[in-house]
Amino acid sequence: MELRHLSGFVAVAEELHFGRAAERLHIAQSPLSQQIRLLERDLGVKLFERTTRSVRLTAAGQALLEPARHLLAEASAVRRTVRAAHLGEVGRVTIGFAGASSYSALPLLTRAVTSELPGIELVLEGQTYTGEALGRIADGSLDVGFVALPVRRGISTRVVRMERLVLALPDSHPLAQRPDVTFADLAHEPFVTFPVSRGSAVREAMVQACHEAGFAPRIVQEAPDSYNMLALVGAGVGLAVVVASARAIRLEHVVFRPLTGDDVPVLPIALGWRTGNPSAALQAVLRVAERVLPTPPTVTDDGDYDG
């Protein structure tokens, strides 16, 4: 019993017409008829009742149809598995992420990889900020991470988003009545920010911008992620400088205002991985990422990128 014979049988059984089945299989009708005869000889039964006007399954043919479909599906799965292994499309890839930028980008990547590379298992590790991610990529405990530029030597990157910084504040705060805010306006305000120990690029950019505006920020509390930080803002604990993507997080009593002035940085957010990492699975994931998370050509005034 050969797979091509079973394939021919299923095509005829579903079409109940040798001509249409042959067209579906892209072969001539005569070889298809020969395949069916060989399969019937091998099984010792008649699979079709044929007349000049119709084709119908015999009881034996009806009994064979579902097992034949199952065997062909299994054979197809074997081919996909072997091909995936050959192309490096099997294995495990660990992805580090933290912050609002990755919250919007990560689902696009994971859904595409799950759909297109079913042989690759993604291990997602949250609250992995830039500093920690770069260290773990370098030591091999993380395959790829969402990081802010610049990065250390030995790390390859591709920018997937450009982020402006915006201010999150309680809706009752006097600055909430203004259309935009400068860093100089924040000199006497309390701040909530990411932990200093995790190497947050957003925190570093905020501190640097405050220094350039002539003051050191008064940090009153740290939060492990954007959701917790904005909850503290809504509770009136302090103000927060966040990336523009955080505006997608809707919490009561929290509003966002653009930060204006020459001291407001734009953060390039990139995927980073160890240069020369031999993992074929990682390379397969990066190929998918290049399509679903393209490098933005420009950044607009409201913090979103064109393209």
> What span, in angstroms and rounded, lies between the C-alpha atoms of 243 and 185?
18
Query: pLDDT means per 10 residues in the chain (307 residues)?
Result: 91 93 93 94 93 90 94 83 69 90 89 89 91 93 94 93 94 96 96 89 93 96 93 97 92 95 88 94 94 79 37
**Domain spanning 91-159+275-306: CATH 3.40.190.10:** yes
Alpha carbon distances (Å) from 54 to 12, 28, 30, 47:
12, 19, 17, 14
What pLDDT is recorded for position 199?
A: 82
- Evaluate whether 3-87 and 91-159+275-306 have a shared fold: no
What pLDDT is recorded for position 1?
A: 77
Backbone angles phi, psi at 284, to 5 degrees: -65, -40
> What span, in angstroms and rounded, lies between the C-alpha atoms of 301 and 10?
59
Burial class for 273, CB neighbours closer than 10 Å (0-12, 13-18, 19+): buried
Domain 160-266, CATH among 3.40.1160.10, 3.40.190.10, 3.20.20.80, 3.40.30.10 = 3.40.190.10
The one-letter code for the residue type at 60 is: A
Phi-psi category of 37—alpha, beta or left, where left has phi over 0 and alpha has psi -120 to 50? Answer: alpha
Longest dimension (CA), the chain: 94
